[in-house]
Structure 1
């Protein structure tokens, strides 16, 4: 028999992890007087994040270095100099190469349309070199609806797609809400989750 676990998160406390958060910390730590940047150290990043390993942070900095956003400095402790300061990081592969974000494309479309079906999101969000599949659009729209971002304008039925609208109060900004998959270790002998919960983004 399978057991379904519900992960409860303290919503009153901001998540101190994820690429967007770590980049905001780097921008803050390296903003020096007269526009001169100070190097950021691995230790500084560890202290400003929650349950993020040194290896994960090193990997993130390698990604930024591959994109030409930071450069590693010689010597110890590990530290980096910021070369570019974009407000938001572009979608990148692990080696820093730019990549189209279908989640971003869908979120841009959802914010732009007054109302929509999942199929309309897939069509409007697709561009020549980055086509959004209908299944991906359906998954993302349903997850946003379940999370309270969307209002159902018309309920769906047999051969009738549901129509949604983004709630004005949930139009939180240009960055797309991300879908996370959480890895947990559950010990049935102790009836509890053991160790940290690791989350990774799911590609829609």
Structure 2
């Protein structure tokens, strides 16, 4: 079976909160183990060091290979996943390369990272300002996206509202509410994530920190 066929047999990745150990995802742990390893390594060696499933790691290695980050030493007549030797040929630094199965860079989540970083740097902000700061960092973020992220972090207790929405008068619109990070609420460099289940997961803490309350008929 070819490498491509072996990779296509792998299933989808698990949700982020199921992959994280100590605040780091399986890819990040694997990448750190690869960088620390002296010389070429096998999938088995890194999987044990990083506490990552063998098949999950093999899939990531193939993605890295396609993206030009690692090279694989051919092994004739042996199972590639078990016996192949891998070497980093393009060091991305401490952060694990975020690539698709085709080796292309993943852009999803960059906006969230830019907003989380901007919140710490700028102090107070409103929706428009946060989106602008993220864009200044090279990431396109819509005001609707910024509004949703602010709302989720406010609901989770990360943000303090320092000024309420204020009307400018009939037909003149409103002044946006202003926010800032609450004391001690910067939990680390990885941004809290809004998951599909409408909950906020903080990878720095390795835990779900907030779930949206379900409305019942009495709330309608």
Bin for the TM-score computed over the shorter chain: 0.5 to 0.7
Q: How does 1:48-59 map to 2 (within 5 A)?
A: 48-49=51-52, 54=55, 56-59=56-59
Structure showing the higher helix proportion among its residues: 2
Match of 2:21 among 16, 19, 42: 16
SS of the residue corresponding to residue 170 of structure 1 reads: coil
The superposition leaves residues 117-171 of structure 1 with CA deviations (integer Å, 9 ceiling, x where unpaired) of 1221112211496421111111111222223322222234663422111134222
Match of 2:36 among 27, 31, 40: 31
TM-score under structure 1 length normalisation: 0.62
CA contact (8 A) 1:30 1:40 kept: no
Distance 1:129 1:174, change over 3 A: closer
1:186 is matched with which residue? none
The superposition leaves residues 84-122 of structure 1 with CA deviations (integer Å, 9 ceiling, x where unpaired) of 251013544443333552222222221211111122111
SS of the residue corresponding to residue 81 of structure 1 reads: strand
Aligned length: 165
Q: CA RMSD in A?
A: 3.6
- Unaligned runs of 5+ residues in structure 1 are 1-10, 183-204
2:176 is matched with which residue? 161
SS of the residue corresponding to residue 196 of structure 2 reads: strand
Match of 1:145 among 154, 157, 175: 154
Distance 1:29 1:92, change over 3 A: closer
Match of 1:175 among 184, 190, 198: 190
1:190 is matched with which residue? none
- Unaligned runs of 5+ residues in structure 2 are 1-16, 168-173, 198-220
TM-score under structure 2 length normalisation: 0.59
